[in-house]
């Protein structure tokens, strides 16, 4: 994600302009040069569009989402993506069964909302779900000879 050439340009051409200035000013210049223009939007979209899928564990799904949230919220006060927002977006990407459990047990309606409690409950639901068999593949050739042509001369 970091545009390395832009970062090198800042160091080589503009670093001397920040001598004696605050860390905040220098950091803002680095971030502006190093990250794509819409980086925050792109990361938010990744969280919103993530799907757990049948083969991922909830823990890996939650960890990936949390990592993206922390990248977005790096040095933001107040945070761009709250824990409650993250939980809502995670819920949208859960499997049907886990999504139903979140709704059934009203995990998003907790007041005050506690992300750690939300994640712990969903992880518990995921643990007790029966293991799903791998998806069946529809073979293209069934071997029944339905599409074979036989000619008799």
Which pLDDT tens digits describe the chain residue by residue (153 residues)? 445 666 666 667 777 888 889 988 887 777 777 676 688 899 999 999 999 986 689 999 999 999 999 999 987 889 999 999 999 999 999 999 999 999 999 999 999 999 999 999 999 999 998 876 666 777 665 555 555 455 565
Within a domain: 113: yes
Say whether pTM exceeds 0.75: no
Token pair for 11 = 């160091």
Domain that holds residue 108: 38-128
The answer on 30 and 42 residing in a single domain is no
Within a domain: 116: yes
Taking CA 145 as the corner, what is the angle to CA 144 and CA 151, rounded to the nearest 5 degrees?
Answer: 160
Indicate the length of the chain as a whole number.
Answer: 153
The answer on 81 and 18 residing in a single domain is no
Question: How far apart, in whole angstroms, are the C-alpha atoms of residue 41 and residue 38?
Answer: 5
**Cis amide bond preceding 78, omega within 30:** yes
Number of domains in the chain: 2
Within a domain: 50: yes
Burial category of 13 from C-beta neighbours within 10 Å (exposed 0-12, middle 13-18, buried 19 and up): exposed
The answer on 77 and 17 residing in a single domain is no
What crossing angle do the helices spanning 83-93 and 115-128 adopt, rounded to 10°? Answer: 20
The answer on 76 and 1 residing in a single domain is no
The answer on 46 and 59 residing in a single domain is yes
**Cis amide bond preceding 112, omega within 30:** yes
The answer on 114 and 48 residing in a single domain is yes
The answer on 67 and 18 residing in a single domain is no
Within a domain: 83: yes
The answer on 110 and 54 residing in a single domain is yes
Within a domain: 115: yes
């Amino acid at each position: 994600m970091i545009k390395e050439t832009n970062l090198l340009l800042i160091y080589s051409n503009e670093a001397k302009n920040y001598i004696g200035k605050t860390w905040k000013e220098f950091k803002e210049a680095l971030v502006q040069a190093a990250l794509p223009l819409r980086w925050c939007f792109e990361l938010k979209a990744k969280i919103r569009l993530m799907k757990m899928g049948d083969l991922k564990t909830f823990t890996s799904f939650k960890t990936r989402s949390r990592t993206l949230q922390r990248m977005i919220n790096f040095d933001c006060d107040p945070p761009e993506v709250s824990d409650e927002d993250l939980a809502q977006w995670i819920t949208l990407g859960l499997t049907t069964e886990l999504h139903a459990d979140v709704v059934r047990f009203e995990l998003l309606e907790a007041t005050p909302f506690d992300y750690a409690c939300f994640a712990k409950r969903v992880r518990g639901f995921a643990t007790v779900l029966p293991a799903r068999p791998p998806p069946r593949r529809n073979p293209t050739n069934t071997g029944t000879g339905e599409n074979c042509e036989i000619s008799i001369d």
